[in-house]
Structures are given as structure tokens and as C-alpha cells.
């Protein structure tokens, strides 16, 4: 039975080493069992070293992790050093120790374990005696399921002067296997680093942390790695709560980098986010529908040249920007003065082409172009006062014809005033059938007599 103990322990050690990569954070507190083998000093048993000296060790262990992975522990062990069939040299040891496990090696979780204590020895061949003990162990541990722990330890136990008649000093060796039930390490911010090691205890959920529990921010945008959904944010860009850069004006340049953060939608911008105006007309490229406008030409909201007065000369180069609609202009946009309506020796002008609907004062459409030219000429000669004279043929009664001529004269005056001629420059008068210039007996004569004249009054 005793010969089978060493292979079992050795096999268990191999399993522990193979599972060492499972190491997790040590539980805060543990309580567990110890199983092992003791190898006594011959000074204790009084037998030569050649005799097989493998004995069973049982015990209890309580431990607590105090700082980082440094653990304080207390052991209570019972060992019977049995030296074969001859029980006269058996020695029972009952020991109480306190010590510390000092970890090293982050991945494999090795430790050294110095301890101090007191042991009572009960030899079968002699009286009981007690000794102070100092131990130094070396071992390896790992955590199972987040709260339980397995460990192995090889330690040397040196006994020194105490009470009783046994040997004064001796050194025993012990090989231990332990399984402990523990309380999981407290991790208030759930970042995987227990409170006792966490130097940044308020880490937001989801953030990636280092060994001391502090989050990192690789792109330096203020959003922690693990939370940051856009980990490659350019330096200086402003971000949203997910760590992604914002582009408030939608120009493709991130806020914080964009020197012109209010660029209108659709404008073409440079690397600094500022819009361009290639033709210098005040309308940004991308919005400008006429991107090759000449310098100095006034444009509308879409960047195209304006011609406010509709004279065919663009604003910005038009020296007469308020030219009346329809007026002829020169290349600078200024009206070309119309010739005088009246020849120097004549004060009456018949308006050929001005006619009305039958027995009505309603102008026919073809009359409008003639009257537009008259209006343009009168604007060029504002000092000339004019009477609009209406005439009829003798087809109807004299009274009827008089009234119709007055209405027709007033219709022409109203049209000219609507085209911008000052009312004070015009008067209207009807002459009825009393001033014929042709024979009313013929259709051709009557047509000539139905006329409108302009009469210069000064």
C-alpha cells in the first residue's frame, strides 16, 4: 500500500501541471483538505536512511488572499511516520503552522511558502515531545470553477529546540496535495480583476482592462477599448457615446478636425472641412450650378449669373441695372434712346396698327407691340406732354361715336400709364366722327377715319 502512494502523488502532480494554464484569479478566502506523504529525518525515527520512509499525511488548511495574489494560510496536519512492519519506530506528528504563499510566474502560478509553527511528536518507542518548526515550501496552484482551488507543495520542515526528550533538531520532507473550497474574489466592476488588485475600480462595463484593472484607449478619443466601436478614430475627432466620430455637417470631415463645421450640405470641401469656391462668386463648389462664372458677375443662390432687369446684360457688368422691361440696351446694359415721336415741324402722330374690337374700346392683341414702342419713346422724352386723341367713322349716331372715341382714347392712355408713363404726361380726348381724314362713304375711308392720334401739347 505504501509503495503505491508515490506513483499516485506523482500522477496527480502531472495532472496539476497540465492544467496550470487554467489558472484564474485566486478566491478571497478558502477552506480545504490536505493529502500527502511525509519523509522523516532518521534523527526522528532512529532508523538508517536506507529503510523505506514514506508515510501518510492528512490535514486542513484555511487561507485568505490579502494583497495582489499574496495569501496567508494556516495548516493543521497529522502525519504518521510508519517505518514498515516494525511499529516500534512509528512517530505521530500533530502540527499547527501559519505562513504565506508568495506567488511568482503569472501563467503557471508557482509560489514559495515560508511558515512557522509548533508540532507535537508521539514516538511509539519514547515519550511525547514538542518542537518549534520552520518550513519552506515550493508549489503550484490553480483555480477551478472560479472559487475552488487545487495545489501541490513540496516543503522542508525543520524542527528546533522545544520541550521533551526527543532529538533536538531534525528536518522532515512533505509532499502535499490540497483541494480548497473558496469564496470567489470580489470584483465590483466585473472587469475580471478582483478588487484587491484593481487600481481602477470604477471601470465601465465592457471596457478592456490590463492586469491592474485599468482600461486603455488606443486611439485616445476618450472611449475605452472594448466599448469603442470605432477603435481607429483619427486624433482630435469628436466622438459619440459609442466612440465613433461625428460629422455634424455631413461633409466627410469629422467634427473636431473640421475647421468649418457648418458647411452647407452638398458643398465640396478640402481636408480641413472648409468649402471651396473656384470661381469666387460666393457660392461653394458642389452647390454652384455655374462653376465657371466670370469674376465680378453677380450670381443667384445656385451660383448662376443674374440679369435682374432682363435686358440680356448680366448683373455685375450691367451699368444700368434697372432698365425697363423691353427697352433696347447697349453692351453696357444701358438703354439706347429711342428717336423722338414727333418730327420738328409736326405735332400730330397717327398710331398705325392700333385698333380695337368692333364697336368696342378693347385693344386687339396686335396693338400692344405698337404701344410698347410708344411707351419706350415717351420715357426717353419725359418733358413732352401728349394728348391721346380718339376718332371714329360715321357709321353710328354722332352721340354714340363721341362716347366710343372717348373710351378708346382713355384705353390707350391707361395702357401707356401701366407701362410706366407718368399720368401727368398724358391726357385723353375723344373727337367722335367730327374730324374725318377720308371719305366715310367707302369702307377704306371709314377704316382710315377709325384712328388714334398722339398730339404734342407743348
Q: What is the per-residue pLDDT across 417-439, written as a single tens digit (0 to 9) for each?
A: 999 999 999 999 999 999 999 99
Q: Which residues, at least 6 apart from 378, have a Cβ–Cβ distance to it below 8 Å?
A: 341, 384, 386, 416, 421, 425
> How confident is residue 51, by pLDDT bands cut at 50, 70 and 90?
very low
List, in sequence order, every residue forming a beta bridge with 178; answer none if it has no partner: 34, 151
State mean pLDDT over 363-378.
90
* Distance (Å, whole) CA 451 – CA 351: 7
List, in sequence order, every residue forming a beta bridge with 456; answer none if it has no partner: 386
How many residues in the chain? 458
Domains and CATH numbers, the chain: 2-183 (2.40.160.20), 217-270 (no CATH), 348-456 (3.30.1330.60)
Cα-based distances in Å from 59 to 37, 38, 75, 336: 11, 12, 7, 122
Q: What is the per-residue pLDDT across 181-206, written as a single tens digit (0 to 9) for each?
A: 977 767 777 776 777 777 788 788 87
Eight-class DSSP state of 339: P
Helix axes 398-418, 367-380, angle to 10 degrees: 60
Query: Which cell numbers in the block locate residue 400?
Result: 354714340
Residue 118 near residue 134 (C-beta atoms within 8 A): no
Residue with cell 447697349: 330
pTM over 0.75: no
* Distance (Å, whole) CA 340 – CA 154: 129
Residue 388 near residue 413 (C-beta atoms within 8 A): yes
Residue 92 near residue 118 (C-beta atoms within 8 A): no
| 241 against 133, higher pLDDT | 133
Give 244: exposed, middle or buried? Use CB within 10 Å, 0-12, 13-18, 19+. Answer: middle
Measure CA of the first residue to CA of the last residue in the chain; give whole Å: 151
* Helix/strand/coil for 171: strand
Angle at 284 between CA 279 and CA 286, to 5 degrees: 100
State mean pLDDT over 237-246.
79
* Distance (Å, whole) CA 100 – CA 220: 41
Cα-based distances in Å from 337 to 357, 358, 378: 32, 35, 10
| 353 against 108, higher pLDDT | 353
pLDDT at 327: 67
* C-beta neighbour count of 159 within 10 angstroms: 27
Is residue 24 predicted with pLDDT exceeding 70? no
pLDDT at 43: 83
Query: Which cell numbers in the block locate residue 258?
Result: 473640421
Range with lowest mean pLDDT among 54-58, 142-146, 286-290, 370-374 = 142-146
Residue 76 near residue 59 (C-beta atoms within 8 A): yes
Amino acid at each position: 500500500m505504501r509503495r503505491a502512494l508515490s506513483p499516485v502523488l506523482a500522477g496527480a502532480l502531472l495532472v496539476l501541471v497540465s492544467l496550470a494554464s487554467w489558472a484564474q484569479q485566486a478566491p478571497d478566502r478558502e477552506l480545504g483538505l490536505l493529502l500527502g506523504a511525509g519523509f522523516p529525518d532518521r534523527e526522528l525515527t532512529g532508523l538508517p536512511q536506507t529503510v523505506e520512509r514514506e508515510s501518510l499525511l492528512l490535514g486542513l488548511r484555511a487561507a485568505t488572499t490579502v494583497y495582489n495574489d499574496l495569501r496567508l494560510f494556516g495548516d493543521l496536519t497529522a502525519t504518521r511516520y510508519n517505518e514498515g512492519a516494525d511499529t516500534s519506530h512509528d512517530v505521530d506528528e500533530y502540527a499547527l503552522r501559519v505562513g504565506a504563499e508568495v506567488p511568482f510566474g503569472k501563467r503557471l502560478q508557482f509560489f514559495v511558502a515560508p511558515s512557522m509553527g509548533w508540532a507535537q511528536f508521539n514516538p511509539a518507542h519514547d515519550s511525547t515531545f514538542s518542537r518549534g518548526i520552520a518550513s519552506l515550501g515550493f508549489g503550484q496552484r490553480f483555480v477551478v470553477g472560479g472559487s475552488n482551488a487545487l495545489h501541490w507543495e513540496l516543503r522542508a520542515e525543520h524542527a528546533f529546540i522545544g520541550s521533551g526528550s526527543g532529538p533536538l533538531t531534525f528536518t522532515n520532507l512533505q509532499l502535499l496535495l490540497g483541494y480548497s473550497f473558496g469564496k470567489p474574489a470580489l470584483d465590483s466592476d466585473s472587469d475580471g480583476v478582483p478588487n484587491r488588485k484593481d487600481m481602477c475600480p470604477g471601470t465601465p462595463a465592457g471596457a478592456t482592462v490590463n492586469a491592474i484593472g485599468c482600461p486603455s484607449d488606443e486611439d485616445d478619443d476618450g472611449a475605452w477599448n472594448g466599448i469603442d466601436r470605432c477603435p481607429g478614430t483619427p486624433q482630435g475627432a469628436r466622438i459619440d457615446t459609442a466612440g465613433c466620430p461625428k460629422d455634424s455637417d455631413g461633409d466627410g470631415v469629422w467634427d473636431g478636425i473640421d475647421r468649418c463645421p457648418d458647411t452647407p450640405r452638398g458643398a465640396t470641401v478640402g481636408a480641413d472641412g472648409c468649402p471651396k469656391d473656384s470661381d469666387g462668386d460666393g457660392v461653394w463648389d458642389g452647390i454652384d450650378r455655374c462653376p465657371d462664372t466670370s469674376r465680378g458677375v453677380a450670381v443667384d443662390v445656385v451660383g448662376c449669373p443674374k440679369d435682374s432687369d432682363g435686358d440680356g446684360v448680366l448683373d455685375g457688368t450691367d451699368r444700368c441695372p434697372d432698365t425697363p422691361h423691353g427697352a433696347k440696351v447697349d453692351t453696357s446694359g444701358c438703354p439706347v434712346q429711342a428717336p423722338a415721336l414727333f418730327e420738328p415741324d409736326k405735332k400730330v402722330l397717327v398710331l398705325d396698327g392700333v385698333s380695337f374690337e368692333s364697336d368696342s374700346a378693347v385693344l386687339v392683341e396686335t396693338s400692344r407691340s405698337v404701344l410698347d414702342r410708344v411707351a419706350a419713346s415717351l420715357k426717353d422724352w419725359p418733358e413732352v406732354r401728349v394728348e391721346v386723341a380718339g376718332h371714329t367713322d360715321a357709321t353710328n349716331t354722332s352721340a354714340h361715336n363721341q362716347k366710343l372715341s372717348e373710351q378708346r382714347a382713355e384705353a390707350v392712355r391707361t395702357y401707356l400709364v401701366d407701362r410706366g408713363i407718368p399720368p401727368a404726361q398724358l391726357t385723353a380726348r375723344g373727337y367722335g366722327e367730327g374730324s374725318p381724314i377720308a371719305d366715310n362713304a367707302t369702307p377704306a375711308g371709314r377704316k382710315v377715319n377709325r384712328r388714334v392720334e398722339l398730339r404734342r401739347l407743348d
